[in-house]
């Protein structure tokens, strides 16, 4: 049996008259049986029925005669209602197409204003209707950029992640360096004669040396990460400059720009 998607059903509810029909143990309709059914609303042509399996829209002509009579089903009225609904749907579609055509024409008229726009960073990809909010020179709070190329997004996200990794790793290296310095400071330097004491001192000095070696390795790795960041910084302008134009529209207080590609 075919149920009506909830979003379509909600959109149509304004044309349905609500009912107070009690629960029907089994409602036969259109060759199907609907258990624990309740007719929640009707039009001249349809009934919305909730049942154990969800919500379904049924033609009144498929309901038992008693319910057709109860809700005043008339084939001619139903046909006129369906024709009227079809006409309204066509008019809504035509209006939507007209608005889209007007928007496309407005966008086309702005195409000659394309200009290079360096994207400094992506500030927000979740809000603002899913349009990325990007920081650009002179507008730190950002603009909304439609059709932002994936290579730009990927480059900036990689650079952002590397920056976060560098900050986190720098804190770790600093903490490890402090711990290694303390271990070196307390490592015994005097000569002992007792074998057990000698072994303990040797182990303590070895541990301090290992900690110092680990810090040197971490510092070398951190230096590599910073070199990589420097390389990315040098590439940023080439990798993140887009060609875009202002659409003249705003969302959430931010100007919307449309990206048409990269230089």
pLDDT at 239: 94
CA distance 34 to 106: 51
CA distance 24 to 36: 5
pLDDT at 205: 85
pLDDT at 200: 82
CA distance 73 to 43: 9
Q: Report yes or no: 247 and 258 within 8 Å, Cβ to Cβ.
A: yes
Under 8 Å CB-to-CB from 224, ≥6 apart: which residues? none
pLDDT at 106: 65
pLDDT at 14: 43
pLDDT at 6: 44
Query: How many helical (H) and strand (E) elements, i.e. helices and strands, does the chain have?
Result: 5, 11
pLDDT at 107: 60
Alpha carbon separation from 218 to 174, 176, 207, 215 (Å, rounded): 10, 9, 16, 5
Instruction: Report the chain's C-alpha Rg in angstroms.
Output: 35
161: which 2 tokens? 């992640």
pLDDT at 190: 67
pLDDT at 10: 42
CATH architecture assigned to 6-73: Roll (2.30)
Per-residue pLDDT of the chain (263 residues; tens, 9 = 90+): 444 444 444 444 445 556 667 888 999 998 999 999 999 999 999 999 999 999 999 999 999 999 999 999 999 999 999 999 999 999 999 999 988 888 667 666 655 578 899 999 999 998 898 899 999 998 888 999 999 999 999 999 999 999 999 999 999 999 999 999 998 888 777 666 778 777 888 888 889 899 999 999 999 999 999 999 999 999 999 999 999 998 888 998 999 999 998 88
SS3 259: strand
Q: Report yes or no: 257 and 152 within 8 Å, Cβ to Cβ.
A: no
Residues forming a β-bridge with 18: 41
Global confidence as pTM: 0.52
């Amino acid at each position: 049996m075919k149920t009506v998607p909830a979003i379509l059903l909600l959109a149509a509810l304004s044309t349905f008259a609500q009912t107070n029909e009690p629960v029907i143990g089994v409602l036969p309709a259109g060759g199907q049986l609907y258990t624990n059914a309740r007719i929640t609303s009707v039009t001249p042509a349809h009934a919305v029925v909730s049942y154990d399996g969800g919500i379904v829209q049924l033609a009144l002509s498929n309901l038992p005669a008693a319910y057709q009579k109860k809700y005043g089903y008339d084939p001619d009225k139903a046909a006129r209602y369906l024709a009227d609904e079809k006409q309204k749907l066509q008019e809504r579609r035509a209006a939507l197409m007209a608005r889209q055509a007007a928007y496309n024409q407005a966008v086309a008229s702005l195409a000659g204003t394309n200009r290079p726009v360096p994207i400094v960073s992506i500030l927000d990809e979740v809000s603002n209707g899913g349009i990325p909010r990007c920081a650009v020179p002179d507008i730190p709070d950002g603009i909304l950029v439609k059709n932002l190329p994936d290579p730009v997004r990927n480059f900036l996200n990689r650079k952002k992640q590397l920056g976060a990794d560098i900050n986190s790793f720098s804190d770790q290296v600093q903490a490890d360096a402090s711990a290694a310095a303390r271990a070196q400071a307390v490592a015994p330097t005097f000569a002992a004669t007792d074998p057990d004491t000698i072994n303990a001192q040797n182990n303590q000095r070895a541990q301090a040396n290992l900690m110092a070696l680990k810090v040197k390795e971490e510092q070398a790795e951190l230096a590599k990460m910073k070199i990589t960041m420097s390389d990315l910084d040098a590439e940023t302008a080439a990798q993140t400059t887009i060609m875009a134009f202002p659409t003249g529209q705003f969302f959430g207080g931010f100007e919307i720009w449309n990206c048409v590609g990269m230089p």
